[in-house]
């Protein structure tokens, strides 16, 4: 009914803010209260258990079953005291969401009663009935099993009445079926490789930790408007909708004041974050209307990723208390900014040194240059892989659109670092290394710390930018599991650092000093990796042409971007770092292609349904009104007057009739294209067919219907319009 849109709009605009429930305690008093953190461990575990457990966590040692019983007992006691009744293994299957299966703590006690039970066995390992999770053929439902296994490095936490235990998800043969397993492996690979390189500079480094600070962008939409849009409800994206006359031209939303309703939501969200130990730090409006961002203080990479996964689900829950829906889709609205999830990445030593931070003396700066150059080199060699790691059907609508980084990976370093690298590249060893009693380095880089304070020329168009003491990977989409880009980056850098050590050792074995060897290898890397460095406007068309000339990966088709995972150099890189083997890579690609197919399939179905059952009937009704009108004009006026007075209507009817015809034809053609694609059995081929033959119709049909939206009577248009969806009162 035509009233549905107005009903929803009216309800949405009369909505009052739901006031947040803010505890009357300071954040420091309740931070982490729903986490089995060190404070809780200390209280609920014996001294001995506490010591062994924290030692195992800090040193990546395995934990035996017997010992796990003690931990489980303490965890259960802590949880029961907090009114928890259930527990679940919480894991991250390959479909970009988290999964859990709740079991009650209770067991029969043999006397007809029940007791609260939670053993080490249940803590350590479970076999969820997970046959419906994507496995890319690694686990056929009838023959093989999937296991979840406790990840002690990420603490258990409580959501509602359930104790959630972060776990990895693997096939019975040991292959990874999730994001967490290879992420942990990549963190370990990077630790090993970076510690080796650190030995050139420090004696006391024995551990290197990877840090991740994500920034989560999202949209909020009023619940009733959301429900009145089947496309939002089913795909999280508006498949239709003409741009509103005002959107983000005035930039008045960005850093503007946050609407009260939203602010109340944010307050509740932050309280929940703090209780769960998520160190939320900044919140603000983003560039588009109704778009916001939350960023925490950075943390160890695996924990940070768990926190991001947790945040996304907490966000959805809290939003509903406030009569909102959160949209984590990368491009919910055409014509305005999409949402990303910037991943700020750095590596640091057990001695407190950020390896991507310039030091105070020349040796430290050589270390700094070493890690920066190796990172750039890794990004250069694996630029196609990094792009594949964030490629998805949904992120494709954002990448390459005019606000987002393009679908080409390049790095921005800023003038200072560029000058230093150019200087090194063009210097001879004699220029920079002066031999006195001890070989000392004169890299001309002594002033980096001072210079960097000035490094404010941040290039927002670069997908991978150096920002003073970290790299910011900006291409990941808002719904991405950070594990995917992070494990690709960690592994590529780990592999690169291994290569670096080999090259340095070769030169040293040939009689060169350590400094000379490092200098020579870096110099060759600086030369080789030059094509990845780009400080200009990454959104310009010239860059696309230039990137192609430089040999960077410019593939735009998501199904083809995934091929980067199976290139021989990628397979070797992942094998040598022990992060993923070929079988796992192949299986994971199957999953990626399959997910791509399904996403496009759903969009195509929803759009077909919207077109034929929601839009066309209403448009035809309007067309009849116009036809009726001209018939009556004809009856009322003489021919000459009629011709003149009905001119507009007749031309409108013609346009509308033509568009109805175009939409119907294209919907039919889209259905045909889908049927043809569905007959293909190979996932890769099928995904390519969906990309090449189905996606174009989605855009074309939308274009026609958006034109119709501007012609048809506003009173009867069946869907909430952009201006109604996007401007929160």
Question: Packing angle between helix 47-59 and helix 65-81, nearest 10 degrees?
Answer: 110
Among positions 213-232, residues that touch ligand ADP (CB under 6 A) are 213, 215
Cβ-based nearer residue to Mg ion, 215 or 499: 215
Site string for Mg ion, 483-502 (x = CB under 5 A): --------------------
| Range 204-233, binding Mg ion (CB under 5 A) | 215
Q: What number of CA atoms fall less than 13 Å from residue 448's CA on the CB side?
A: 27
| Contact partner, 346, from Mg ion, ligand ADP, none, Cβ < 5-8 Å per class | ligand ADP
The one among 95, 354, 427, 693 contacting ligand ADP by CB under 6 A: 354
Q: Report, in Å, the least distance between residue 420 CB and ligand ADP.
A: 20
Q: Binding string to ligand ADP for residues 265 to 284, with x set by CB under 6 A, is what?
A: -----------------x--
| Nearest distance in Å: CB 80, Mg ion | 41
By beta-carbon proximity to ligand ADP, the closer residue of 87 and 371 is 371
Contacted by 354, from Mg ion, ligand ADP, none: CB < 5 to 8 Å by type: ligand ADP
Task: Indicate which of ligand ADP, Mg ion, none lies near residue 216 (CB less than 5 to 8 Å, by partner kind).
Answer: none
Q: Does 74 bind ligand ADP (CB under 6 A)?
A: no
CB of 286 to ligand ADP, least distance (A): 10
Distance CA 40, CA 76 (A): 12
Q: How many other β-carbons are positioned within 10 Å of the β-carbon of residue 382?
A: 26
Q: Based on the number of CB atoms within 10 Å of its own CB, is 15 exposed (0-12), middle (13-18) or buried (19 or more)?
A: middle
Should residue 340 be labelled a site residue for ligand ADP when binding is judged by CB under 6 A?
no
- For residues 442, 415, 210, 564, the Cα torsion angle rounded to the nearest 10 degrees is -110
Total residues binding ligand ADP (CB under 6 A): 16
Alpha-carbon span 494 to 663, nearest angstrom? 52
Structure tokens given for 475:
């291409």
Which C-beta is closer to Mg ion: that of 219 or that of 717?
219
Q: How many residues does the chain have?
A: 729
Minimum CB separation of residue 215 from Mg ion in Å reads: 5
| The two structure tokens encoding residue 6 | 């107005």
Nearest approach in angstroms of CB 225 to ligand ADP is 28
- Of the pair 342, 367, the CB lying nearest ligand ADP is at 342
Position closest to ligand ADP via CB: 213
User: Is 470 an interacting residue with respect to Mg ion (CB under 5 A)?
Assistant: no
d(CA 416, CA 350): 28
Binds ligand ADP (CB under 6 A): choice among 297, 545, 625, 661: 297
Of 284 and 442, the one with the shorter C-beta distance to Mg ion is 284
CB of 339 to Mg ion, least distance (A): 12
| Residue 412 binds which of Mg ion, ligand ADP, none (CB < 5-8 A, kind-dependent) | none
C-beta separation of 490 from 187 below 8 A: yes
Does residue number 346 form part of the binding site for ligand ADP (CB under 6 A)? Answer: yes
CB of 486 to Mg ion, least distance (A): 16
**Helix 362-381 and helix 180-198, axial crossing angle in degrees, nearest 10:** 140
Q: Show the tokens assigned to 527.
A: 């030369």
Give 690: exposed, middle or buried? Use CB within 10 Å, 0-12, 13-18, 19+. buried
State how beta strands 324-327 and 157-159 pair.
Answer: unpaired
Subset of 450-479 contacting ligand ADP (CB under 6 A): 469-470, 472
Q: Could you tell which of Mg ion, ligand ADP, none binds residue 562, using a CB distance below 5 to 8 A set by kind?
A: none
What is the closest distance, in whole angstroms, from the C-beta atom of residue 470 to ligand ADP in the complex?
4
Task: Write the binding mask 162 to 201 for ligand ADP: x where contact by CB under 6 A, - elsewhere.
Answer: ----------------------------------------
Contact of 405 with 462, CB cutoff 8 Å: yes
Nearest to 553, CA basis, from 374, 381, 355, 357? 381
Nearest to residue 494, comparing CAs of 202, 208, 170, 303?
A: 208
Site for ligand ADP in 13-52 (CB under 6 A): none
Taking CB under 6 A as the binding criterion, the range among 29-37, 291-299, 387-395, 418-426 that sits at the site for ligand ADP is 291-299
298 sits near ligand ADP (criterion: CB under 6 A) = yes
Q: From the list 329, 341, 342, 523, which residue makes contact with Mg ion (rule: CB under 5 A)?
A: 342
Tokens, residue 95: 């479909």
- Residue 125 or 354 with smaller CB distance to ligand ADP: 354
Q: Can you tell me which of 34, 181, 344, 459 binds ligand ADP, judged by CB under 6 A?
A: 344
Question: How many chain residues bind Mg ion (CB under 5 A)?
Answer: 2
Give 69 or 305: the residue with its C-beta nearer to ligand ADP: 305
Question: Could you give phi then psi for residue 148, rounded to 5 degrees?
Answer: -105, 140
- For 214-247, give one letter per residue: b (16+ CB within 10 A) or e: bbbbbbbbbbbbbbbbbbbeebbbbbbbbbbeeb
User: Residue 467 Cβ, how far from Mg ion at the closest point, in Å?
Assistant: 8
Minimum distance from CB of 456 to Mg ion (Å)?
Answer: 14
Binding flags for Mg ion, 518-547, as an x/- string (CB under 5 A): ------------------------------
Select the binding partner of residue 175 from Mg ion, ligand ADP, none (C-beta < 5 to 8 A, by kind). none
Angle between helices 180-198 and 483-509 (to 10 degrees): 30
We find the least distance from the C-beta atom of residue 213 to ligand ADP, in angstroms, to be 3
- Dist. CA 324–CA 342, nearest whole Å: 24
- We find the least distance from the C-beta atom of residue 305 to ligand ADP, in angstroms, to be 12
What residues does 215 pair with on adjacent strands? 342
Residue from the set 78, 133, 211, 519 that interacts with ligand ADP by CB under 6 A: 211
- Burial of 397 per CB tally in 10 Å (0-12, 13-18, 19+): buried
For the four alpha carbons of 300, 303, 308 and 311, in that order, the dihedral sign comes to negative
* 358 burial level (CB within 10 Å; 0-12, 13-18, 19+): buried
Q: Which two tokens stand for residue 97?
A: 């969401």
Q: What minimum distance in Å lies between the beta carbon of 511 and Mg ion?
A: 46
Q: Which of these ranges, 141-149, 175-183, 340-348, 689-697, lies near ligand ADP under the rule CB under 6 A?
A: 340-348
Strands 86-90 and 162-171: parallel
> d(Cα 109, Cα 107) in Å, to the nearest integer?
6
Q: What is the Cα–Cα distance from 713 to 318, expressed in whole angstroms? A: 37
- Considering the complex, state which of residue 295 and residue 409 has its C-beta at the smaller distance from ligand ADP: 295
Residue 253 CB, nearest distance to Mg ion (Å)? Answer: 17
Q: Pick the closer one to ligand ADP by CB: 53 or 208.
A: 208
SS3 167: strand
Least separation in angstroms between residue 301's CB and ligand ADP is 9
Contact 175, 583 (CB under 8 A): yes
Which positions lie near ligand ADP, rule CB under 6 A? 211, 213, 215, 282, 295-298, 342, 344-346, 354, 469-470, 472
Which positions lie near Mg ion, rule CB under 5 A? 215, 342
């Amino acid at each position: 009914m035509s009233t549905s849109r107005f009903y929803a709009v009216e309800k949405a605009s009369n909505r009052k803010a739901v006031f947040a429930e803010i505890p009357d305690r300071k954040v420091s008093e309740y931070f982490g209260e729903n986490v089995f953190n060190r404070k809780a461990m200390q209280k609920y575990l014996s001294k001995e258990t506490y010591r062994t457990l924290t030692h195992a966590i800090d040193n990546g040692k395995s934990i035996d079953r017997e010992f796990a019983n003690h931990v489980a007992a303490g965890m259960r006691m802590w949880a029961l005291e907090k009114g928890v009744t259930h527990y679940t293994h919480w894991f991250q299957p390959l479909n970009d969401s988290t999964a859990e299966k709740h079991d009650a703590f209770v067991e029969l006690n043999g006397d007809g009663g029940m007791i609260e039970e939670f053993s080490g066995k249940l803590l350590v390992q479970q076999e969820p009935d997970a046959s419906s999770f994507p496995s890319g053929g690694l686990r056929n439902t009838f023959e093989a099993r999937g296991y979840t296994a406790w990840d002690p490095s990420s603490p258990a936490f409580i959501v509602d009445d359930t104790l959630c235990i972060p776990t990895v998800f693997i096939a019975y043969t040991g292959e990874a079926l999730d994001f967490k397993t290879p992420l942990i492996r990549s963190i370990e690979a990077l630790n090993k490789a970076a510690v080796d390189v650190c030995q050139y500079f420090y004696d006391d480094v024995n551990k290197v930790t990877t840090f991740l600070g994500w920034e989560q962008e999202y949209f909020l939409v009023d619940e009733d408007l959301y429900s009145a849009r089947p496309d939002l409800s089913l795909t999280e994206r508006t498949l239709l909708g003409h741009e509103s006359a005002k959107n983000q031209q005035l930039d008045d939303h960005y850093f503007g004041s946050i609407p009260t309703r939203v602010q109340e939501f944010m307050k509740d969200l932050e309280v929940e974050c703090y209780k769960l130990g998520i160190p939320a730090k900044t919140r603000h409006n983003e560039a588009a209307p109704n778009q916001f961002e939350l960023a925490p203080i950075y943390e160890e990479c695996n924990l940070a990723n768990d926190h991001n996964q947790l945040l996304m689900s907490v966000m959805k829950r809290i939003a509903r208390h406030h009569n909102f829906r959160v949209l984590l889709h990368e491009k919910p609205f055409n014509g305005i900014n999409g949402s990303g999830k910037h991943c700020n990445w750095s590596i640091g030593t057990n001695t407190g040194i950020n390896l991507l931070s310039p030091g105070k003396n020349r040796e430290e700066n050589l270390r700094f240059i070493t890690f920066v150059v190796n990172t750039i080199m890794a990004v250069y060699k694996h630029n196609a892989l990094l792009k594949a790691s964030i490629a998805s059907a949904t992120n494709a609508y954002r990448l390459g659109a005019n606000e987002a980084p393009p679908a080409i990976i390049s790095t921005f370093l800023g003038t200072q670092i560029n000058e230093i690298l150019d200087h090194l590249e063009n210097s001879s060893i004699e220029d920079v290394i002066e031999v006195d009693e001890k070989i000392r380095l004169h890299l001309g880089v002594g002033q980096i710390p001072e210079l960097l304070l000035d490094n404010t020329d941040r290039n927002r168009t670069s997908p991978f930018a150096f920002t003073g003491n970290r790299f910011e990977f900006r291409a990941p989409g808002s719904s991405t599991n950070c594990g995917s880009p992070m494990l690709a980056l960690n592994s590529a850098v780990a592999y690169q650092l291994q290569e670096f050590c080999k090259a340095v050792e070769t030169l040293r074995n040939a009689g060169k000093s350590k400094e000379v060897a490092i200098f020579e290898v870096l110099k060759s890397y600086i030369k080789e990796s030059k094509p990845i460095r780009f400080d200009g406007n990454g959104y310009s068309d010239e860059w696309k042409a230039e990137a192609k000339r430089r040999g960077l990966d410019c593939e735009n088709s998501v199904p083809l971007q995934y091929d980067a995972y199976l290139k021989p150099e990628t397979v070797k890189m992942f094998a040598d770092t022990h992060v993923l083997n070929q079988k796992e890579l192949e299986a994971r690609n199957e999953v990626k292609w399959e997910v791509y197919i399904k996403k496009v399939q759903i969009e195509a179905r929803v759009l077909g349904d919207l077109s034929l059952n929601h839009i066309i009937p209403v448009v035809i009704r309007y067309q009849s009104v116009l036809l009726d009108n001209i018939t009556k004009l004809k009856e009322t006026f003489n021919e000459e007057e009629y011709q003149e007075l009905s001119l507009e209507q007749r031309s409108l009817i013609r346009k509308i009739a033509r568009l109805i015809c175009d939409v119907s034809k294209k919907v039919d053609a889209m259905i045909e294209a889908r049927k043809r694609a569905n007959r293909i059995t190979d996932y890769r081929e099928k995904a390519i067919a969906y990309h090449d033959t189905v996606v174009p119709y989605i855009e074309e049909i939308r274009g026609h219907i958006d034109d119709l939206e501007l012609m048809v009577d506003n009173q009867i248009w069946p869907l909430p319009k952009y201006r109604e969806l996007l401007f929160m009162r």
